Chain A
Amino acid sequence: VTQTPKFRILKIGQSMTLQCTQDMNHNYMYWYRQDPGLGLRLIYFSYDVKMKEKGDIPEGYSVSREKKERFSLILESASTNQTSMYLCASTRTGGPYEQYFGPGTRLTVT
């Protein structure tokens, strides 16, 4: 699982797209954010192309899955409370199976 970019600094109100790509032909893909003391929290996940489901904290985010191997997280208008580490993961159906994680995107909004 790969994620781009690795680091990004945004100004309040700017938009950006975080990209996640997997080459394992997995159906399920996930976006989490990780904050100190809060662990990983699920933002959105997708179980097929153009299919998505909200996680626990979807507010302020949207997602796109146009191809099976790619799942994008979109911040339309960044706010300081979106400063975080964003982790993408994928897994296959028919399990349960483990999730494979990308290295993360460190986002700072100032």
Chain B
Amino acid sequence: SQQGEEDPQALSIQEGENATMNCSYKTSINNLQWYRQNSGRGLVHLILIRSNEREKHSGRLRVTLDTSKKSSSLLITASRAADTASYFCATAASGTYKYIFGTGTRLKVLA
């Protein structure tokens, strides 16, 4: 059962623009995490937001979480060509360490 679903599936923007991607999930969660995957490589953790938090920032990243709508968004500001990658959200249901990943958003930043 795929709990996280990212939207859009693919996104293409110009360097300097902002990129927004969304994640929806189905059950109550303990936390939600965002990961980045460069082509053909393993995933790298970007940011974690707990279920009692609404917004979190890390550098050019801003994550929001709306538990009433079971959704999260990741905003990358002032994008760079190096941000070109796939982005995944991952959720863990309350009381578990079983993480479910979404299908990902492929971001392409054009120089």
Contact = CB atoms under 8 A, between A and B. Distances in A.
Interface of A: 1, 28, 30, 32, 37-42, 45, 47, 53, 55-56, 87, 89, 91, 93, 95-104
Nearest to A101: B42
A39 B104 contact: yes
A38 B97 CA distance: 21
Interface residues of B, number: 26
A99 B30 contact: no
A78 to B, nearest CB: 22
A33 to B, nearest CB: 11
Give me the 6 closest cross-chain CB pairs, A-B, nearest first.
A98-B45, A101-B42, A39-B103, A40-B101, A96-B31, A101-B43
B50 interface: yes
B103 A30 contact: no
Contacts of B90: 40, 99
B48 A98 contact: yes
26 contacts: A1-B42, A39-B2, A39-B4, A39-B102, A40-B88, A41-B101, A42-B99, A42-B100, A45-B97, A45-B98, A55-B98, A56-B2, A56-B100, A95-B31, A95-B97, A96-B30, A96-B48, A96-B92, A99-B45, A99-B90, A99-B99, A101-B43, A101-B44, A102-B42, A104-B40, A104-B42
B69 interface: no
Interface string B85-111: 000101010000111111110000000
Contacts of A97: 48
A7 B7 CA distance: 31
Nearest to A56: B1
A24 to B, nearest CB: 13
B45 A100 contact: yes
A30 B90 CA distance: 13
